[in-house]
Amino acid sequence: MNANAAIHPTAIIDPKARLDDGVSVGPFTVIGADVEIGAGTSIGSHCSILGPTRIGRDNVIHAHASLGGQPQDKKHKGEPTRLVIGDRNTIFEFTTFSRGTVDGGGVTTVGNDNWVMAYVHVAHDVVIGNHCIFANNATLAGHVVVEDWAILGGFAGIHQFCRIGAHAFVGMGSLVNADVAPFVIVADKYAVPRGINAEGLKRRGFDAERIAAIKRAYRAVFMSGAPLAEAKQQLAEAATSSEDVARMLAFIESSERGLLR
């Protein structure tokens, strides 16, 4: 443990944990063996961080978060799997992040600059990109992939093995059981496409031309009534002049669970 780490006297830190400069740990928090925490990370009171877990720099982890716990998978037999969290994430109260499983590659991964609100659950083998927002009680089942800048509304539920594309928006309380294409808004109890996330794209600097190309791609796939193969052909033609459309097409073509359409 680094001598410059600020540890409350009631915290319990395993001697085999490694805390870098400027790490602070609040009252009654427990940090287990084989946990590494990067410089400047702040950990609130009553947290549980078990290993093997790696947490990067300048994260803010609020009270009662439980990170690196055993995966909730009956096939898991105690193998040494991992949780890896990047830099500058904000993780609020009562969140739960599980380690990976051998069948899922052995690691649950969270990128950088994510905003994770209270009671969010990140299950085993989930892969989260950067700049994502998860509202209260959003739940990600095992093996889910969430790409950069995606937003999940409160109480949204994502079925195992689903993917949420970059810049997508999942509405409050929606249940997702197939892949959500990049840039698309899905909503309702059983999620269905409702347009593109135009407001979010504007906030991130997408100009009118880029957004118009994404809207045309959306109409081809989700509104035209054309078979998916025909819609993909339209996207392939548009992709020659739009990297965003090319990204949507690549996502659709790589979908294994099926596209939410």
Instruction: Say if residues 141 and 93 touch (Cβ distance below 8 Å).
Output: no
Please state the φ and ψ torsions of residue 6, each to the nearest 5 degrees: -100, 100
User: Domain residue spans in the chain?
Assistant: 6-196, 201-253
Q: What percent of the chain has pLDDT over 90?
A: 96
The answer to whether the beta carbons of residues 69 and 50 sit under 8 Å apart is: yes
Pair of tokens at residue 77: 């037999």
pLDDT of 3 > 90? The answer is: no
Pick among 3.40.228.10, 3.30.2310.20, 2.160.10.10, 3.40.50.620: CATH of 6-196: 2.160.10.10
| CATH code at 201-253 | 1.20.1180
The pLDDT tens digits for 91-150 are 999 999 999 999 999 999 999 999 999 999 999 999 999 999 999 999 999 999 999 999
- Residue pointed to by tokens 């009252």: 27
Residues tagged active-site: 124-125, 142
- What is the amino acid identity at position 202? K
The overall average pLDDT reported for the chain is 96
Helix (H) or strand (E) run with residue 238 in it: helix 228-239
Residue 238 confidence (pLDDT)? 96
User: Tokens for 14?
Assistant: 């395993």
Q: Rg of the chain's alpha carbons, rounded to an integer?
A: 20
